Structure 1
Amino acid sequence: MKYLVEVCAGSVEDCLIAEQQGAHRIELNNAVHLGGLTPSVGTLIEAKKRVDIPIIAMLRARPGGFYYNDVEIETMFRDAEELIKHGVDGIVFGFLNEDASVDVQTTKKFVELAKKHEVEAIFHRAYDRANDPYEAIEALIVCGVDRILTSGQKPTADQGIDLLKDLHKRYGPKIELCVGAGVNISNVDTILVKTSINQVHSSFKGWFKDPTTHGKVSYQYDEKGDYEGVSRQVLKAFIDHLENVEK
């Protein structure tokens, strides 16, 4: 395909669906509804047994922003070492200083770990909270980051098209950009054409039922369903659409 589709997955089942429906890469998370946290090593091991497309893994110790204390950083570094040991194809992270500039020292530490083991180093949407998008991307290039996942510093990627287009035009030869946040079948054509970026990221969300969620105590966290995951139908329709666009 001319375009690359990355699926935000929260389980082994999501990974299986991603590959079966023709996705090209998986970003493995825990707690997708919190913006994604570090997945368990067990989830990665079981996914790698069953899936052949590349799996990159989120490193995020908690919800909220991206200004971490030393314990959180060391925990994520240990997680990164374990995930790499068990075959992950890339590590996904984002570190900011208190003023929302890129934490260059910590970023370099994680990039060096990735390069040492020949896996990708990806800076996630912490970039969209950076105080200056141009200073931030230049810092990430100097650090050796391979790719940035970004919505163009807007809540959804279709709102961030102008910045995405300019970033790709200025820095495309130096660093990959993958567009994420609110990318769907209704806006992907516009995003790809106007930005000239050829990588997109989405959760392709569907809602599922578990008969033990409700009763005297309810564990439902959203009125749409009991838990979320990758929808086979939504992802297939998206992939089919892009294939038709390429023709």
Structure 2
Amino acid sequence: MSPLLEIACFNAESAILAASAGADRIELCKDYSLGGLTPDPSTLSSLKSHIQIPVYVMIRPTADTFCYDSASFEKMKTEIDKFKDLGADGFVFGILHHSSEGYDEDNSRRSMIDVARNAELVRRAGGRPCTFHRAFDLIPETQWTSALGDISECGFSSLLTNGGPSGTAAVDCIEKLAALVQWTRLHGPSNVSNSAPVLDIIVGGGVRSSNTRLLQGQTRAEAFHSAALMGDDQRVSVDEVRKMRVSLQHG
């Protein structure tokens, strides 16, 4: 079975094109220049009748932070409810603590992951799988083991990461990505309840047909994420999606 290919799409047209070119799943969002934000509900509505593959909706109300105030958090809950009603197959989000928040009484904290809020949103998703997005790439490597346990404890089924600091290409973090994949397979839901899902690592960050075979071979990951954009347009390249699909099938 070939690895999963998820394509980030910023409009309905791109999602339809990506599905026709061999994508296994769509991550639906808007505003590529801002790293992806919550899409308009109308985009999902117009899309669902045209494609058969799963569509995961990004829930990210603002681009300037992954630490949300109460109003933004309430908005995220409302958006999940709305997109569930419109047929979303899953969700993509991630909430971090401010550096001075979230400590236990002994002044310790497992990681920057806001376990309580993330877990609430996962429950809100009503059984639909949830991906913790690249907010993970802002977490220091020294916290990774704790963060992986926290993310799994929240109930996430997958983690999207480039394997290094935010903005780094996945091809420059192959050893760390391989270590993350190995850790999740060896430990599974470490130190959490038996009901927690095993966390799948989704490799993202500059993933293209020119490097998918290398990334697949060196990391042993089973899921890859790309916007597959070519040029300045926010429209997916059908040719690039097809090339990635072929590369992953023969990796």
State the TM-score, normalized to the length of structure 1. Answer: 0.87
Code of the residue aligned with 2:201 in structure 1: it is L
CA deviation map 1:185-235 (0-9, x unaligned): 22211211111101100000034xxxxxxxxxxxxxxxxx4x321011221
Kindly indicate whether the alpha-carbon contact (under 8 Å) linking 2:216 and 2:248 is maintained by their aligned counterparts in 1.
Answer: no
Distance, in Å, in 2 between the alignment partners of 1:238 and 1:170 is 26
Give unpaired runs (5+ residues) of structure 1.
208-224
Relative contact order, CA 8 A, sep 6+: which one is greater?
2
Distance, in Å, in 2 between the alignment partners of 1:15 and 1:62 is 22
Residue 122 of structure 1 pairs with residue 131 of structure 2: yes
SS at match of 1:7: strand
Normalized per residue, the structure richer in strand is 1
Code of the residue aligned with 2:94 in structure 1: it is G
Aligned residues: 225
Deviation of 1:166 after TM superposition, in Å, equals 1.2
Equivalent residue for 1:168, pick from 181, 186, 200: 181
Distance, in Å, in 2 between the alignment partners of 1:184 and 1:231 is 11
Give unpaired runs (5+ residues) of structure 2.
100-110, 189-197
CA deviation map 1:40-99 (0-9, x unaligned): 111011110111000000000111231111111111111111001111000110100012
Code of the residue aligned with 2:178 in structure 1: it is K
Q: Which residue does the alignment assign to 2:6?
A: 6
Distance, in Å, in 2 between the alignment partners of 1:164 and 1:18 is 25
Residue 16 of structure 1 pairs with residue 27 of structure 2: no
| Aligned-CA RMSD value | 1.4
Deviation of 1:243 after TM superposition, in Å, equals 3.0
CA deviation map 1:92-128 (0-9, x unaligned): 10100012700111111111112xx221111000011
Distance, in Å, in 1 between the alignment partners of 2:243 and 2:214 is 17
State the TM-score, normalized to the length of structure 2. Answer: 0.86
Code of the residue aligned with 1:45 in structure 2: it is S
Q: Which consecutive aligned stretches of 4+ in structure 1 deviate over 4 angstroms post-superposition? A: none
Kindly indicate whether the alpha-carbon contact (under 8 Å) linking 2:56 and 2:91 is maintained by their aligned counterparts in 1.
Answer: yes
Identity of aligned residues (%): 29
Kindly indicate whether the alpha-carbon contact (under 8 Å) linking 1:183 and 1:200 is maintained by their aligned counterparts in 2.
Answer: yes
Distance, in Å, in 1 between the alignment partners of 2:248 and 2:153 is 33
Code of the residue aligned with 2:226 in structure 1: it is S
Q: Which residue does the alignment assign to 1:92?
A: 92
Q: Which residue does the alignment assign to 1:193?
A: 217
